[in-house]
Each structure stands twice: as C-alpha cells, then as structure tokens.
Chains A and B, each alone.
Chain A
Amino acid sequence: MRLLPSVRVQVVDFSVADEYRQLAQDDSDGAVVTFVGKVRDFNDGALVSDLTLEHYPGMTETVLEQIVAEARSRWPLNKVTVIHRVGTMSLGEQIVFIGVTSAHRKAAFAACEFLIDFLKTKAPFWKLEAGEQGKNWVEAKDADEQAAKLWQA
C-alpha cells in the first residue's frame, strides 16, 4: 500500500477502511482507535444542508503536525493519521479523521480524544454553514475551549 503522510488536508473524501488498513499493519500494536467527524443535520437549533470548510494553507499543516508531536510526547503511540477535509460537504459527509495506534488501548483512546480536542481549538479551520436561514459562520464554542483546557491540567 502507498504510504501517505500522517497529516493531510484535502478536498476529497477519505475511506475509513483504507485508513484503518494502513494504521493496523503493525503486530506490536494491540489498539487502534479512530474518530470520524461528520456534517450534522442541526447546529444550535438551525437546520444544516451543507458546510464549507475554509483553512489557512501552510499554517494548518504546521499546527496539525505540532498537535501530533504533542500527542506523541504524552503517550507511547506508533501510527497517527489526521485527515481534515476542506471545501463544501453535504449533510452526512465525513469531515475529519483521527486514527492512532498503540500497544495498549488507554494511550490510544486518550491520544485520539486529545487530538480532536486540540484540532478543534488550535487548527485554523472555519465552518460556513448553509441551511434554510441562509449561510452563517459557525461560532466557536466555549465547551470546545474547555475540553482542550482539561488536557493542560
């Protein structure tokens, strides 16, 4: 299988099965944890029909690499994959993929959650939602900021 970079920002969709196969190759890993974020039908009570993701090319990749490095410094991880799509996505489509492998499950679970929590508050992506009330930029949530802060304790 073609070896892809562990951090990818792309317009095209990804295949969880392909990503899993790439992650799960090493017999030293007893745990593979993956997370997929999708376009949801409602946000803050408003119906959503599609979502457009904008990002800051260059800075995005740098920040994601830094977050992955931070996760590796905290837990004994083997493989890490972070994929974030940009452009317009319809209801139900996949937006983001996080996959981590480790010898044991605790490190893999924790690192996966850490990665998505930090991605949400540190990586320069912005969501523009389209729905029946027109288009609006998604507001940053305090709950996301709090989730990221918990890891700093």
Chain B
Amino acid sequence: MINVLFFAQVRELLGTAKLGLEASEQTQTAEALRATLAATDEKWAKVLASDKLLVAVNQTISQWDTPIKDGDEVAFFPPVTGG
C-alpha cells in the first residue's frame, strides 16, 4: 500500500487529505502515481496538472522520476509559504 497525502490548497480542492493505493505498474514513479490519481476525474486531473505541484517521497521533496515502492509515503502539495 502506498500512503498518499495532500496538503493545503491541493487538499482543499480535492476534498481529500489522504488515501491508500495498492502499489502497481501504474504507480512506479511519482509521475506515474500523479497520472494515475489524475485519471480519477476532471477535478483531480485539473488540480494535479498544476506545474507548481510539488511531491515529497517519504518526507523528502523529490523529482517526478523518483521510484515509488510499496509502503512509501507520497505527498502532493503547492509551493511552501511558511515563515
């Protein structure tokens, strides 16, 4: 199972904070996982298509070609605005 998290505007627009997804051929990289989630419906496609979207794999900001394996935690969120 891949533990998928969403934060801030991404979470709000999707109406989802987290979900679990079985690891498969469609979830082998962060980009593949994003494409799989974007296929849910039009809303998900639009929110996850943002070119500003960031991905963190196991709590580290990562590139889109980062491999994803069973048990990983993958988070999608917009650019950070703390401080």
Interface residues of A (CB under 8 A from B): 37, 53-56, 58-59, 62, 84, 95-96, 116, 119-128, 137-140, 144
CA distance A3 to B7 in the complex (A): 32
User: Which of the 9-residue segments B25-33, B39-47, B73-81 touches chain A?
Assistant: B73-81
Interface string of B43-83 (1 = CB under 8 A from A): 00000000010001001110000000000000101111111
Q: When the two chains form the complex, which single residue of B5, B61, B75, B80 contacts A140, counting CB atoms closer than 8 Å?
A: B80
CA distance A121 to B80 in the complex (A): 6
- Asked if A56 contacts B59 (CB within 8 A), the reply is yes
- Asked if A56 contacts B81 (CB within 8 A), the reply is no
Residues of B within 8 A of A125 (CB): 80-83
Q: How far is the CB of B52 from chain A (nearest CB, A)?
A: 8
- Asked if B8 contacts A54 (CB within 8 A), the reply is yes
Residues of A within 8 A of B75 (CB): 56, 59, 124
Q: Say whether, besides A56-B59, A62-B59, A96-B83, A126 and B5 are in contact (CB < 8 Å).
A: no
